[in-house]
């Protein structure tokens, strides 16, 4: 009897092995320090870089940008024109009035992967309790590229990447299909 290959197994087999990432920290305070040329530490970016490099993916750009809808949209529109697979925004996903990453990104998405945010919040809940409901972390596809919006906390970025990094090649394969 022939054993059938499940579609997700076939997709994973056809998925790229090495992804190209663009990473952006969304933070008004860090952005001000950057434009004032004052030193600052971006622990969140450091964690993202470390975890992505451990999986032998490539990071082609990193930057700190402002919590500004127009700036975030321009960065995203520019990013999708480049040879990139995954664009990650870290920060601006909370409920404060200055948190506008979701408002900037969501209207541009061709498709949203609702399960991304659901799984992230479930796993966050296991670690931090009901406060996990306060993040609007999400992922989707825009112009054939995977776009991920994560909280700005180092622990949130670490959790999300540990959960999803191994599945991102499959996500990229589907985004390009």
Mean pLDDT on 6-23? 82
Mean pLDDT of the chain: 94
- Structural domain boundaries in the chain: 17-176
Q: Name, in order, each residue with C-beta under 8 angstroms of 83's C-beta and a sequence gap of 6 or more.
A: 20, 60
For residue 13, what pLDDT band results from cuts at 50, 70 and 90? low
Q: Name, in order, each residue with C-beta under 8 angstroms of 162's C-beta and a sequence gap of 6 or more.
A: 51
Q: What is the pTM of this model?
A: 0.93
pLDDT value of residue 163: 97
Q: Which residue from 90, 3, 92 is spatially nearest to 49, judged by alpha carbons?
A: 90
* Multiple choice CATH, 17-176, 3.40.50.720, 1.25.50.20, 2.60.40.1930, 3.40.980.10: 3.40.980.10
pLDDT value of residue 15: 77
For residue 8, what pLDDT band results from cuts at 50, 70 and 90? low
């Amino acid at each position: 009897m022939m054993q059938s290959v499940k579609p997700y197994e076939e997709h994973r087999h056809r998925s790229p092995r090495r992804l190209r990432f663009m990473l952006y920290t969304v933070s008004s305070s860090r952005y001000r320090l950057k434009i004032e040329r004052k030193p600052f530490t971006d622990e969140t970016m450091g964690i993202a870089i470390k975890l992505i490099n451990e999986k032998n993916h490539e990071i082609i750009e990193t930057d700190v940008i402002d919590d500004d809808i127009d700036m975030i949209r321009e960065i995203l529109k520019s990013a999708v024109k480049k040879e990139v697979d995954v664009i990650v925004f870290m920060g601006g996903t909370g409920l404060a009035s200055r948190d506008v990453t979701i408002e900037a990104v969501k209207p541009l998405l061709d498709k949203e992967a609702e399960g991304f945010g659901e799984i992230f919040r479930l796993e966050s809940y296991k670690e931090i309790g009901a406060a996990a409901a306060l993040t609007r972390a999400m992922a989707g596809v825009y112009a054939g590229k995977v776009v991920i919006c994560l909280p700005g906390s180092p622990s949130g970025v670490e959790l999300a990447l540990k959960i999803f990094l191994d599945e991102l090649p499959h996500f990229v394969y589907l985004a390009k299909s």
